Amino acid sequence: MLEKKRVYIIGNLTGSTRARLLLDFVSGSNKYSFSYDDTHFFKVNSKNLLKKAFLLLPNFLNSLSSFSKFLISDIIFILPMGKISFFKLKLAKLMNKKVVTEFYISKYDTYVNDKKRVDKNSKNALALKKFDQNIIDLSSDLIFLNNSEKEYYLDVVQRSNTTTKIHLIPLATESKMMAQLNYANLKTKKLILCWWGSYIPLHGLDKIIESAKYLKQSDISFEYHLFGTADKKAVAYQKMIDELELNDVVKIDNTKTFADKSLDKFLIENCDIAFGNFGDSEKAKVVMVNKAVEAVSMKIPVLSQKTKALGEYFENEETMFFCEPSPEEIAKAIFKISNNPELIKSVSKKGFSLYQKRFSKEAYIEDIQKILVS
C-alpha cells in the first residue's frame, strides 16, 4: 500500500470558496493526509493580560507542532493570499519540497496600486514587492486564475521572466440554486439589478450608481440592490445616492452574506441581472471579479465592462453582456437588455453551461489534482 502524501496547508480558509474546495478534495482523498492550522485560534482580542499570558505556552507549543508538520510534509500548499516567511520558503526549496502557491493577488499591487494604503517609494512597498518576488522565485508551482492576470501580476512585481512552473486554474465556486429570473420569465415588470462585493474603486460602483440617474429618464421600472460588507465604507456611496436623489431606485444593504445564505436567497428570488466590474485602473481592465462567476453559477446574467480576463472565457455576448464603463453606456445597455427577455434567458443558459465546464467545483478539482501528483 502506498504511503499517503502529506500536505501542509498555509493560509486562511475563512471566506474563500477556492480554499474550501481544496480542503474538501484532500480530506476526501485516500492519496493524501493534511494539516491546517488556523492562525486565529490562539489570538486574543481582549486586553486582559491574564488571558494573553495563559495562551503564550499553548501558542508556543502549537508553533513547534506546526513547524514539525511543515518539515515532514511532502507538499506545501499556500492558499490564496496566504502568508509564509522567507525562511520557510527557502527551507522548503532546500529540502526539495513541492511548494504550490495560489497567486490570487499580488500583495504589492493590492496595497500600493489598488487600495493606495502604501506609498510606492516607501520601505513597506519594497517589502511587499519582495514578498511577492520570493513567492514566485521559491515556489515550485504557481497557480494563476487566467493568463491575463498572470502577465499583469508578473509584470507588476518584475518577474515576467520567471522559470517557475505556471498553471492556469480559473475562479471556481460551488453550485447554488438557480435564480428565478422573474423579469425574463414575465412574472414581474420591474427589472432588479444587483451588485455585491467590497467597497473598493476596482468595481466602479460610483458609475453603477450614477447610471441609475440616466436609467430613470427611460420608461422602464427598475431597482438596484447593492450588497456590501462594511457600513463605514458605504457612507460615501449612500451620500452619492442621496445627492442624486436615487433612494427610490438604489438600495444599499450590508447585512446579507453568502456565509449565512441570506445573500443567496435574495439573489435567487429577486435578481435578474448582476453587475460586474467597471473600474478605471489598469488592474480593473485586466481581472475577472468573483461576482461574475458567482452570478453565472446561479444562472444570473452579468453586465460588465469587457476585461482581458473575462475575454479569455466569455468571448462574446452569448454568455455575458458587455458595455463601455461609463454611467451613460451602462444605462443604455440595461435599457436594451430590458427589451429582450428571451435574450436574458439565452445568456443565462449559455453562461451557466460555461460555468459547469470551467468554473465549477468539479472543474477545479480536475485541474488541481493534476498539479498535486505531478
Confidence category of residue 227, pLDDT binned at 50, 70, 90 = very high
User: How many angstroms separate the CA atoms of 174 and 23, rounded?
Assistant: 13
User: How many angstroms separate the CA atoms of 216 and 50, rounded?
Assistant: 59
Amino acid at 60: F
| Residue with the three cell numbers 480530506 | 27
Question: Which DSSP letter does residue 310 get?
Answer: H
Q: Can you list the domains of the chain with their CATH numbers?
A: 5-173+360-373 (3.40.50.2000), 190-359 (3.40.50.2000)
Three-state SS sequence of 229-292: CCHHHHHHHHHHHHHCCCCCCEEEECCCCCCCCHHHHHHHHHCCEEECCCCCCCCCCCCCCHHH
- What mean pLDDT, rounded, does the chain reach? 93
Which of 1-15, 53-67, 171-185, 229-243 shows the lowest mean pLDDT across its residues? Answer: 1-15
- Can you give the pLDDT at residue 1? 43
- In tens, the pLDDT along 99-154 reads 999 999 899 999 998 888 999 999 999 999 999 999 999 999 999 999 999 999 99
| Residue with the three cell numbers 436609467 | 215
pTM beyond 0.85: yes
- Can you give the pLDDT at residue 287? 95
- Can you give the pLDDT at residue 116? 85
